[in-house]
Amino acid sequence: MVVGLGLAGTAFCETLRRNNKTFVVFNDKSQTSSRVAGGLYNPIILKRFTLSWRADEQLAVAVDFYKQLEKFLNIQFDEKLNVLRKFASIEEQNLWFEATDKKSLKPYLDTRLVSNKNSGLKIPFEFGKVLETGKLDTKVLFDGFTNWLQKEKKIFVDTFDYNELEVLPNSVGYKDVKAKNIVFAEGYGMMQNPYFKYLPMQGSKGEYLVVEAKGLQERNIIKSSIFLIPLGDDLYKVGATYNRDQKDNGITEDAKEELQRKLDGLLGCTYQVIDQEAGVRPTVKDRRPLVGKHPKYNNLWVLNGFGSHGIMIAPWASKALYERIEKEVPLLDEMDIARFN
């Protein structure tokens, strides 16, 4: 039994399917973070030019995972796109060159600077190109996977009632469903879960704009103080904001103004705001995932806390949790929730 169908829940359900396990999933669509996110996978923290946590391992699993899932669902949602990092100064260019000399970063940072040829962008100091990056269309992914779940009668579109959960020594029961284990993959919704809300999730609200810029004609992902992500048909996703104080999915005028101000510093062409979206990322105090077994109940598990790196982490962490449940392979101490027991 799985609760939640964002990136974590989808990746875990797909892992179960590939291992011929029977399962059902409960999802009430209350958490929007995975669906509205930019969908980027990028192994580099571009503020400091450093490798993100265990990026090599995660990327190796994720690339193959999504390729197989596209084939299974007969849809396309993974697009290989380079990320171009805008430099704000010559000093930043020098820091880029220093980073390209590091062994761990060589596979991901191009040593050749990229000159700007797009009159729609304000780029005074060239770009650095990040390799092995791309974008998932998460809406296409989730709709495709949900359609399969519906055909197989594996999904209940319903709010999970924790009071109805019966936890027995070797199984769990929920209404008419019996299972060996239950995995909660609820994103920030975990804060309503009486079994796991003790975990130190902070949550960070992110807001995005969708803009139309007919004069831009840009095919790469551009990173400055914001990300500019091409969606096709002259549409671009712009984001994101980070707000730890607000924990709702409502859009705000303040976020819109902040994003437009930053966008005005990047674009040299006109644009029109088409849409605005928001969601709460499941961020954790120590910036590591929340994966593992409940300290008291042996058949209650959690898969959560991926923050803004869910595209890369979800397949890798799902594989680790599956192997922990089925084969008793220990989890990494860094992501095992036992660190908070």
Q: Give me the pLDDT at residue 258, please.
A: 98
What's the rounded mean pLDDT across residues 304-315? Answer: 96
In a domain, 49, yes or no: no
Q: What is the mean pLDDT of the chain?
A: 96
Here the CATH number for the domain that contains residue 215 is 3.30.9.10
Is the domain of 209 the same as that of 128?
Answer: yes
Is the residue at 46 inside a domain? no
Do 217 and 271 fall into the same domain? yes
Model confidence at 310, pLDDT cuts 50, 70, 90, reads very high
Task: Give the rounded percent of residues in the chain with a pLDDT score beyond 90.
Answer: 96
Domain hosting 276: range is 82-132+204-281
Q: Indicate whether 298 and 185 sit together in one domain.
A: yes
Task: Note whether residue 318 is domain-resident.
Answer: yes
Helix (H, G, I), strand (E, B) or coil at 107: coil
156 φ, ψ to 5°? -115, 115
pLDDT class of 30 with cuts at 50, 70, 90? confident
Alpha-carbon gap, residue 112 to 133, rounded angstroms: 17
Lowest mean pLDDT among 17-26, 29-38, 66-75, 184-193: 29-38
What average pLDDT does range 298-313 have in this prediction? 96
Residues 221 and 272 in one domain: yes
User: Is there a domain that residue 157 lies in?
Assistant: yes
Q: What is the pTM of this model?
A: 0.96
Find, among 80, 85, 97, 58, the residue nearest to 132 by Cα.
80
| β-sheet bridge partners, residue 144 | none
Question: Do residue 18 and residue 152 come from a single domain?
Answer: yes
Average pLDDT over residues 1-8: 97
Band of pLDDT at residue 37, cut at 50, 70 and 90: confident
Domain end (from 266, 281, 296): 281
Q: Quick one: tokens of 170?
A: 């070797």
Q: Do 275 and 296 share a domain, yes or no?
A: no
Query: Can you list the alpha helix ranges (DSSP code H) found in 216-330?
Result: 253-266, 310-327
Q: Given a cut of 90, is residue 33 above it in pLDDT?
A: no
Number of domains in the chain: 2
Per the domain annotation, does 261 fall within a domain?
A: yes
DSSP state for residue 339 in the 8-state scheme:
G
* 22-31, 142-151, 159-168, 328-337: range with lowest mean pLDDT: 22-31
| Residue 32 scores a pLDDT above 90 | no
The three-state secondary structure class of 190 is helix
Band (pLDDT 50/70/90 cuts) for residue 122 is very high
How far apart are alpha carbons 146 and 159 in whole angstroms?
16
Residue 42 in any domain: the answer is no
Which letter, b or e, does each residue of 16-51 get, where b requires 16 or more Cβ atoms within 10 Å of its Cβ?
Answer: bbeeeeebbbbbeeebbbbbbbbbbbbbbebeebeb
Q: Mean pLDDT over residues 81-103, rounded?
A: 96
